[in-house]
Amino acid sequence: MLPHLLGNMAEGNGAARSLFLSGLMITSVMTGILFFGIEEEGVNGSPSIESDVPDSMLFGEIETVNITVYDEEMSGLSVLITLNGEEVKNQLDSKGVISVDISSLDVGSHALRVVATDSLGQDSTWTKIFSINYPEESQTVISTSVEEIEVYKGGIAPIIGNVIHDSIDTCTLRWSTGDLSESSLGLPIGEDGSFDLELSNIQANETLSIEASCGTWTETSFLATINIIVIDEIVRGCTDPEADNFEEGADEDDGSCEYAEPEPEDGCTDPVANNYDSMAQEDDGSCEYDPDPVDNGTGSQSWWEGVLLCDSTEQVEPVDDYNTTESDNHLCQLSFEIGETEIVIGSNGIPNHDLESGPGCCTSEQSHQWRIPLVPNNQTGCDPSISTDGCTMAPERDAVAFAVNGVPIFGPEDGPGGDAVAGQEGAYEEDRQHIWMGICHGHSGPGGAYHYHADANCAHWHPDEETNQSWSDYSIESSRTLSEHSAIVGFAFDGYPIYGFVGWDEEGNISEMTSSYRLKNGETGYNGIDDYEYVPGLGDLDSCNGEYGPTPDYPEGIYHYHTTWENGEGGIGFPYFINCYRGEVSFGNDDGGEGADCSGHGETWGPGIGPPPEGCEGGHSGQSSEVSAIVGVLSRAGPPSGGLLAMLMMAVIFVRVLAFSPVSPNPVGTTVVYPRAQV
C-alpha cells in the first residue's frame, strides 16, 4: 500500500510527498526514543563493590574490614572473596555487607580480591592491595658516665650508664673486656634503663665493650666502648734474686736474667732418683730411691685426701652458726675408706665455713654415710643431651649429692614445693611457709640437718684476714670469676664429680657454664620443678646439668656436672646442681633414716598432714622449718585434752623462731668484679 501511496503522491504534487516523508521520519525517531528510553529504565547492570580497607595500617591496629556488594537482584548474587589467594568463607548479611578478619595477618603486603556475579552472569571484580607495618621504634642508645678512665695498677674502675629506648623491658645488656662475640657476661638493667659495673684489680690497659639490644618489633643494637688506662706502668726486668742482674724494683720478669757459669760439683746423676741433681757432673753415690712408687693420680688415696675436706690430713677451724647468740664452735669432720669398687665417706654434716641455719635453727651434728662408685657407669637408654627420658631423676626434696666437706646437697624444692633458690632471689614470694637461705645458699632442716640448695663453692673460699673479711662477706660472684677452671665442689650419687660455675668451653677457653633450663611461660618457680622446661642448646649443659669433656682432674675427659647460677638466656640457673643422673645410681646413702621409706612427703605425712614415718625426721622430710617440724611432733603428742599445752608450746616455738631469724634475710652479698644486683 505504501508504494502505491507514494506513487500516487509522485503523480500529484511534490510538496505533499515531502510532507509525508518528513512525518514518517519524525514518527520513526519518536518511536526509537520511546523504545530505547523504556528499555534503559529496566536494565539490570553488573554488581557494585565498595570497601573500607585503607592502603596501609599498623600491626594490630585493625582487626576486621568490611566489603559492601550491591545488585538489583541480591537474591541471585554470587560472591567469591579471597585474601592472599585463600578463599574467605564468610557470607553477606542482609545489607550486602561481609566482614573479613585480618587480625592474624603479619607485617607485609596483602591482597584482598572480590568477584561478584549476578543472576544474568554479569560479574564485577574488585582488588585491594594494602600493607601492614610495625609501629616505629626508637634506636637503641647507651650513655655511659665516661668514655675513658684512668686507674692505678690494681685499682677499681666503676662504670655507670643508661640504656635509652622506648621499651626498656625488651632490652638485654652484655659486656666483655675481650672479644664480645666470643665471650661475654650479662649485665642487669634497671626499669629506668640504668646499669652499673665495677671492675677491680686492674693490672693492664683494657677496653671494656658494652652492647645493648632492644626492640619489640625491630631489634636494634648499640655498642659502647670505654678505655681503661693503668697509670702506673709495670716495671719489667730480671726478678730472680739468684741472677747476677737481679732488679729489686722489677714487677715482671722480661727474660733478661744472667747467671755466672756454675762450679762443677758432685752429686746424684741418676734422673730417676729422688735426689737427682741436674747440675752434678760426677756421681757421688748419694742417690736415693723410693722402694715403691706412690700413685698420686686421680682416684688415688692422696687424690681423695686433696679433694675431700675436713679429713684427718688437714687442720680444720671451728665454725659458727650466725642464728645463735653464742659462739657454737662447730667442727667439720669427715673420713673415707676406698674399697675395690666404691668409696665410703662418713661425715658429721657440719660445713667448713660459718653458716646461717635459717628458720630450721639450729644446725647440729648428723651421722651421714655416702657411697659412690669409684668408676661411674653410664645408664643405658639415658641421653641427657636430648631429654631426661630414660635417666634416673634426682630426688625433689632430699639429698641428690654431697659436697666435698660432707654436707648434703639437696634439690631446689622447699617444703611447700616451691623453688627455694628462686624464692630466695625474689622471683616469687613464698607465702606457704617461712623459708630462707643463708651463707652459700644453705640452711638446716628438721633435726638440724644442714644442706645446700645452690652454690656450695664456699667450701673452697676463705676470708681475707688482711682486709678483715669474715664469712658473712662471702659472695656467690667470687666463685664465678673467669680466672681458672673451678674445683670439684661435690659428687653425685652416680660417682660423677660436680664442679663449680667455671669450666672449659669446646675451644678450651675459660667460661661460666650455663643451664639449659628456663621458666615456662608465665611461671615463677612457685610450683618448683614443674615450672621449668629443658631447651636443648639453650645453655652449655644438658638436661642433667652436665657435659662430657676434659677437666683439670680428668684431662682425657669425663662426664661431669656443674653448679649453675644462670641459664643461657641470663635467667636463673635451675637446677643449680643436678636434675637427673647420667650414671647408674643406687639410693643406698644414709642420710639419717637407714631403711626408712620416706616417700609421700606432702601427701601422706608432713606439716598439717601427720607425723613422718620412723627414721624420716633427720633430713628426709625435706625443707620444713623448725616450726613446721614441731607442729608434726605436736600432732603425735597426747590426747585432744592436751590442746592448751600444745598451744603454749607453739607460742614458745614461734617466739624462738622470731628471736633467731635475721632482721633482713637478704640474698648473700655481691662482688666488685661482676655487676651488682639490682634491688
- In a domain, residue 672? The reply is no
Q: Which residues pair with 397 in a beta bridge?
A: none
Indicate whether 82 and 147 sit together in one domain: no
What is the rounded distance in angstroms from the CA atom of residue 350 to the CA atom of residue 369? 13
Indicate whether 453 and 510 sit together in one domain: yes
In order of 50, 66, 218, 374, 536, the CA distances from 101 in angstroms are 17, 9, 25, 66, 37
- Number of helices (H), then strands (E), belonging to the chain: the values are 6, 37
- In a domain, residue 631? The reply is no
Indicate whether 500 and 525 sit together in one domain: yes
- In a domain, residue 19? The reply is no
Q: Determine the pLDDT at residue 24.
A: 57
Percent of the chain with pLDDT over 70: 79
495-524: average pLDDT: 96
Indicate whether 351 and 446 sit together in one domain: yes
Indicate whether 93 and 156 sit together in one domain: no
Indicate whether 330 and 437 sit together in one domain: yes
Q: Determine the pLDDT at residue 654.
A: 37
225-254: average pLDDT: 86
Provide the residue range defining the domain that includes 92. Answer: 48-133
Among the candidates 73, 98, 133, a domain finishes at 133
Indicate whether 359 and 445 sit together in one domain: yes
- In a domain, residue 675? The reply is no
Q: Does 23 score more than 90 pLDDT?
A: no
Q: Per residue in 544-590, pLDDT tens?
A: 999 999 999 999 999 999 999 999 999 999 999 999 999 999 776 75
Which cell numbers hold the place of 532?
621449668
Is the distance from CB of 275 to CB of 268 less than 8 angstroms?
A: yes
For residue 382, is the peptide bond before it cis, meaning its omega torsion is within 30 degrees of 0?
Answer: no
Is the distance from CB of 175 to CB of 204 less than 8 angstroms?
A: no
Indicate whether 373 and 480 sit together in one domain: yes
- In a domain, residue 611? The reply is no
Q: Per residue in 374-425, pLDDT tens?
A: 999 999 999 999 999 999 999 988 899 999 999 999 999 988 899 999 999 9
- In a domain, residue 549? The reply is yes
Percent of the chain with pLDDT over 90: 52
Indicate whether 147 and 124 sit together in one domain: no
**Closest to 500 in 3D by CA, of 481, 487, 510:** 487
Q: Determine the pLDDT at residue 606.
A: 47
pTM of the model: 0.50
Looking at per-residue pLDDT, the higher value among 520 and 252 belongs to 520
Q: Determine the pLDDT at residue 607.
A: 43
Among the candidates 269, 292, 315, a domain finishes at 292
Among the candidates 230, 249, 280, a domain finishes at 230
Residues ≥6 apart with Cβ < 8 Å to 213: 140, 171, 172, 219, 220, 221
Q: What pLDDT band is residue 435 in, cutting at 50, 70 and 90?
A: confident
In order of 441, 595, 598, 612, 620, the CA distances from 604 in angstroms are 29, 18, 10, 9, 14
438-464: average pLDDT: 92
Q: Long-range pairs for 22-29 at CB < 8 Å and ≥24 separation? A: none
Indicate whether 206 and 75 sit together in one domain: no
The domain tally of the chain equals: 4
- In a domain, residue 575? The reply is yes
- In a domain, residue 353? The reply is yes
In order of 227, 408, 499, 574, 627, the CA distances from 577 in angstroms are 38, 12, 9, 8, 28
What is the rounded distance in angstroms from the CA atom of residue 605 to the CA atom of residue 543? 30
Q: Per residue in 640-671, pLDDT tens?
A: 333 333 333 333 333 333 333 333 333 322 22
**Closest to 121 in 3D by CA, of 210, 15, 203, 45:** 45
Q: What pLDDT band is residue 49 in, cutting at 50, 70 and 90?
A: very high
Looking at per-residue pLDDT, the higher value among 545 and 33 belongs to 545
Indicate whether 357 and 287 sit together in one domain: no
Q: Could you tell me the CATH number of the domain that includes residue 190?
A: 2.60.40.10
Indicate whether 182 and 203 sit together in one domain: yes
- Identity of the amino acid at 61: E
Angle at 456 between CA 450 and CA 459, to 5 degrees: 95
